[in-house]
Structure 1
Amino acid sequence: MFNYTFSKISFVFFLFLNFSYAQVDVIYSDLVWSDEFNTNGAVNASKWHHQTQIPNGGNWHNGEQQHYTNLLSNSFVENGVLKIVAKRQVFDDQGVIKQFTSARLNSKFAYTYGRVDIRAKVPTNLGTWPALWLLGKNITEPGGFFAATHGTTPWPACGEIDIMEHGITRDQPAGYIQSALHTPSSSGATTNIGGTIANNLGSSFHVYSMNWSPFQIMFLLDGVPFYTYNPSVKNASTWPFTADQYLLFNIAMGGVAGDIPNDFNQATMEIDYVRVYQNVQVDTQIPTNFTATVGAVTSSSIELLLNSNDNSGSVVYGVTYGSNSTSAAGTSGVQKSMVISGLNSNTNYSFSVSASDLSGNNASNNSILLNASTTGVIGCNGTSSAAQEGSFSTGYNYAFETIGTNSVKVTFELLDTNRVGLVAFLRKQQTPISDVQMTNVSGSRTFTYTLTGQIPGSTISYAVKFAYANGLSVTQYFQYVVGNNCNLGLTEIKNNNKIKFKNPAHLNLEFDQNLNINNLKIYSLLGQKMMDIDNCSGMIDISNLSKGVYLMIISVDDQIYKEKLVID
């Protein structure tokens, strides 16, 4: 642990909070519980419980292969750092012999709403599954610290918040860490997943944070948000996060983390500190300077721009329209954008907007009434199952919509329901390939991204890469004219007799002489574009291409054809 003086810690913490507060919905600033791990030896027994009891059946969940122990060799504090060690060790406990030992620590502290920061160094050894996470205090799990006194609710109804997991997403790039929520609506192979890349994972400390408010749960890496869980409907099925949760630190072995190499000896997770913040001071001051105006308007959404000041640092905004209502929190003095979506086009809406603080103190000028009308749709949409890489069993919905004059909102929804750990990337048609991660519409398989600075009348071409556990699928490219209301792209024809060419080909690609091709693209089987030619026919030189199998995308008379090409 860093040997900072108190003043240095306060200064660094102040800078960290000011950087990250602008990005979370509720600011939590009062330190209510922590462990700095300053005393060498066993963990502080007043703060931590070793969970060692094996669940029914003699094994831990998910096919794991370890015994959790209270041995000093598996968990101890050294030089200001908690070390959790998973090791190859034959161990007989509770009548079961296992080949690996590790530690699973429960905090004896539980809380509802707040922020937790954990500075840790995470092992990356194959077959290991290090995790920093929380479970509902009311879980009925034998051997847990709270089970005997508070256990009333089985998993996943108790709720589970995974701040950081590593080792169970082997299809992702090196350094990928995952956050997830498990609820009755989505548990086990949950769809409520976000992730990001941590540089130098395994060799450097990072701060893993979770900001939990009544409105959303946000995950941050080194103060930068990367995933927010905010289901549109919050009930016991989607949002069991209204009661106390406690912290767990552990390293599991094998199971969904994959095979454990024969040369594995041990792996260590190091935790520098854990700090939990809440707001505990009594607040009697009302929000002031409350304003509300209408922002960007589309065919299906209206943006409300809200602002107010409050001594607590956070303001809660409530919006009612028709029989619907929603609420969200924002930072005091910082304009909050609330986008009301799912609206009908060419329709007028009336909104009643209020401001209060977390203690329920209301602004003096509640409520402000706003009126706005949605626009007509300027864009294109449809459904397809065409893929340029991988495949789709059902397909996907797609939509391109011009927002204002120079922005395009791109929305893709994956219809395949058997994909786990789903993320999506918008891919521009260019060489080299360039991907940008899309935003998940929480609780769904829909992803969006808004392209700004587009030129009205220009043609853009994009595909989407869906990545998931053990694979990926890439849609076909879609062309869209910015500002147009049109039939998007070209219609795919899977079976046709119109495209005739010599196949296999050698040096030259020979088409029927009467065929006028608007555009020809040739891709490798890895998705790399090898050729892109406009307005061609007859014989085309392909002598620069190596022998092998390729995919051709051919545009003819407003139709698109997909053909396999063999070069010998």
Structure 2
Amino acid sequence: MKKSFLFQALLTLLLASQYGYSQVDVVYNNLVWSDEFDNNGAVDSNKWYHQTQLPAGGSWFNNEVQHYTNLISNSFVDNGNLNIVAIKEPFTDQGVTKQYTSARLNAKFAFKYGRVDIRAKAPNGQGTWPALWLLGKNVNEDGGFFDSNFGTTSWPACGEIDIMEHGIFPGQPVNYIGAAIHTPSSSGNTVNKGGIQASDIAQNYHVYSMNWSPNQISFLLDGVLFYTYNPSVKNASTWPFDADQYILLNIAMGGFAGTIPANFTQTSMIIDYVRIYQNTAVDTESPTNFVASLGAVTGSSVELLMNANDNSGTIAYTISYPGGPTTTVYNPSGVQKSVIIPNLASNTNYTFTIAATDMSGNTVTNSPIVLNATTSFNPQCSGSDTQASEGAFTLGYNYTFQTIGTDVKITFELLDSKVGLVAFLRSQSPFTETQMSNVSGQTFTQTITGQTLGSTISYAVKFAYAGGLAVTRYISYVVGSNCSLGIQNETAFKQLVYPNPVDDNLHLQLSDNQNKITLSDVVGKIHLVDLVNSDHILDMSSFKTGIYFLRVENSHGIQNLKVIKK
């Protein structure tokens, strides 16, 4: 028996209060569109459109083998539920005969930003591909509901948001459901995806949710977050999600879902409700009580602390500084937000400008707030990094500085694999550029002579290769420092890393509340870079057996530790 709408609405509000503020950046409260499937018989044609037109070539995408129909046997409402039914039966349409029928419904409602909740049971049998998803209203897909009036954009430039799919994840067990984002930057077998193991999806109802804000798209199963998409750069390639999207419901057969068993007859997806929430009230009230201050400042990072109040429940903080990216983060009203700005140069003054608005764009009266911070002096002898002063690095680079008499030997290794690689050592002041000698592979060295002990030098390396170049950040070094143990200010360290050797969980007890950790292997490949608190557990259960190096950076300096994974 279907729960009453009033009870469901109260339950939704309860879940929002328990989970929403802690798991999503914007909580949407006003129901703007729904189908409760209360009237038995045909699907409500005021709300849904049957998409049946075959794509050019006579076959649906991804080598699927079904016809989508508007037959009541493939989609109907019964006892408060929508039934989408895939059936093994020969069926001829548009001059093409196929052996399976199903239904593909387009919602006749499109929206920008909000939350979608769909309570459903979905088939989990071999060869079936149930999906709850969205497409841009502007997609030029012939036969789609919006195509004739709005279809101006090809897939994936229109954007696609997959709330739930099952059956297309080789190597995953039954009842593993996935969510995914398709854009021009990554489509098809996209890298932008997440998944979670659910209890029997065919026998149990689950609530599949998607929360879409101007900042990020989050996916939840039964109110629990399991994946968030939030690209650092939002443009037409990564973020076509600033325009209307509409919901699709369907079961595909075969294709990526694999071989359909010979004894298959039919299967159903049973949907209790589809609900869309937005915040509809016109908001003219600006945030109040906006404050911003500095938190922890290290040799390579600055922590910014922000807080404000607003009736909408959510504050947007936009942070910018000269030479760095502009970043917007969202946080609940009245809750302090901590943002750590990483990869900064040591002993350098930075000016941060922080603006605060609500979700309607109302600006707080004392916005922006300007903060000045000077990173601590952090001379380095060795380490790994990914920061670039020109171009970009993926895996990054290793570096060492070694004083020999009054000479300094400087060695850099590029971890990104490149063809035709050469390296040039750059002095910051005065600016010079000297070609380095290749040691082996992608490791290069250069010795500078006649240095003054105790003086500070600053160098970067330009890696030039076929098709481009990338330049490391300038790294400061005090001539004469030996860093033989990889430790600066060694007496300040009282840090524990245990157990070592480790099976699964590596426990870290570090000196600062803010620590940058980098985990690399013996060939220099970086496996992890993270900002962690003083007490942290590093899960190494999925790492291969071998030797790893853990680099810890904080206000006391740098410590390099050898970790053995059993």
Does the pair score TM above 0.5?
Answer: yes
1:478 aligns with 2:548: yes
Could you give the per-residue CA deviations for residues 306-335 of structure 1, whole angstroms, max 9, x where no partner exists? 211111222221112115422122221222
Structure 1 residue 449, shift from structure 2 partner: 5.5
Unaligned stretches of 5+ in structure 2?
387-393, 399-414, 419-498, 508-525
How big is each residue's C-alpha offset from its partner over 1:64-104, in whole Å with a ceiling of 9 and x where there is no partner? 11111111111111111111111211111111111111111
Q: State the shift of 1:20 in Å.
A: 2.5
1:189 has 2:259 as partner = no
Distance 2:129 2:101 in 1: 13
Alpha carbons of 1:366 and 1:482: their partners in 2 closer, same or farther (altered >3 Å)? closer
- Could you tell me whether the CA contact under 8 Å between 1:116 and 1:275 is conserved in 2? yes
| Deviation of 1:202 (Å) | 2.4
Identity, % of aligned pairs?
Answer: 56
Deviations 1:449-493 (A, max 9, x none): 5665559xxxx9975748xxxxxxx47452537678456648xxx
CA distance in structure 2 between the aligned counterparts of 1:247 and 1:451, rounded to whole angstroms? 39
SS at match of 2:284: coil
Amino acid at match of 1:107: A
Query: Do residues 268 (structure 1) and 268 (structure 2) align?
Result: yes
Alignment of 1:343 onto 2:344: yes
Letter in 2 for 1:338: V
* SS of residue paired to 2:62: helix
Matches within 5 A, 1:320-335: 320-323=320-323, 324-335=325-336
* Alignment correspondent of 2:401: none
User: Counterparts in 2 of 1:63-462, with a 5 A limit?
Assistant: 63-297=63-297, 300-323=300-323, 324-374=325-375, 376=378, 381=384, 454=535
Partner of 2:430: none
Tell me how far apart the structure 2 counterparts of residues 339 and 252 of structure 1 sit (CA, whole Å). Answer: 45
Aligned-partner Cα distance in 2 for 1:365–1:451: 32
CA distance in structure 2 between the aligned counterparts of 1:429 and 1:93, rounded to whole angstroms: 66
Q: Structure 1 residues 24 and 264 mapped into 2: Cα distance closer, same or farther (>3 Å)?
A: same
Contact 1:66–1:102, Cα closer than 8 Å, also in 2 = yes
Distance, in Å, in 2 between the alignment partners of 1:134 and 1:416 is 38
TM-score (normalised: structure 1): 0.70
What residue identity is the alignment partner of 1:370? L
The 8 Å contact of residues 461 and 478 in structure 1, kept in 2 or not, is answered as: no
DSSP 3-state at the match of 1:264: coil
- The residue that corresponds to 1:544 in the other structure is none
CA RMSD in angstroms comes to 3.3
Alpha-carbon distance in structure 2 between the residues aligned to 1:144 and 1:136: 11
Match of 1:235, SS? coil
Q: Is the 8 A contact 2:49 2:145 kept in 1?
A: yes
Taking the aligned partners of 2:348 and 2:8, their CA distance within structure 1 comes to: 54
Q: Please list the CA deviations of residues 365-403 of structure 1 after superposition, one character each: whole Å capped at 9, or x if unmatched.
A: 1121222344548995489xxxxxxxxxxx96799xxxx
Q: Shift of residue 47 of structure 1? A: 0.3
CA distance 1:29–1:447, shift in 2 (3 Å): farther
In 2, the alpha carbon distance for the partners of 1:217 and 1:347 equals 35
Structure 1 counterpart SS, 2:33? strand
Partner of 1:11: 10
Letter of the structure 2 residue corresponding to residue 326 of structure 1: T
Report deviation, 1:12: 1.7
List aligned pairs for 1:18-33, cutoff 5 A.
18-22=17-21, 23-33=23-33
Letter of the 2:244 partner, please give it: D
Of stretches 172-181 and 222-231 in structure 1, the one that deviates more from structure 2 is 172-181
Could you tell me how far apart the structure 1 residues matched to 2:501 and 2:205 are? Answer: 37
Q: Structure 1 residues 237 and 372 mapped into 2: Cα distance closer, same or farther (>3 Å)?
A: same
- Displacement of 1:16: 1.1
Match of 1:494 in 2: none
Distance 1:461 1:133 in 2: 35
What is the deviation of 1:343? Answer: 3.1
Q: TM-score, normalised by structure 2?
A: 0.71
Query: Quick one: structure 1 residues 415 and 464, their matched pair in 2 at CA, closer, same or farther if it must change by over 3 Å?
Result: farther
**What is the number of equivalent residue pairs in this alignment?**
440
Counterparts of 2:338 and 2:396, CA distance in 1: 27
- Seen in structure 2, the aligned counterparts of structure 1 residues 122 and 25 have a Cα distance that, compared at 3 Å, is same
- CA shift for structure 1 position 236: 0.7
Q: Deviations over 1:7-29 (max 9, x none)?
A: x3343222111022212111211
Deviations 1:104-138 (A, max 9, x none): 11000000111111111121101111111100001
Could you tell me whether the CA contact under 8 Å between 1:380 and 1:488 is conserved in 2? no
1:389-441 CA-to-partner distances (Å, cap 9, x unmatched) read xxxxxx96799xxxxxxxxxxxxxx9799xxxxxxxxxx987875699xxxxx
Quote the Cα distance in structure 1 between the aligned partners of 2:538 and 2:141: 52
Amino acid across the alignment from 1:16 = L
Distance 2:182 2:545 in 1: 29
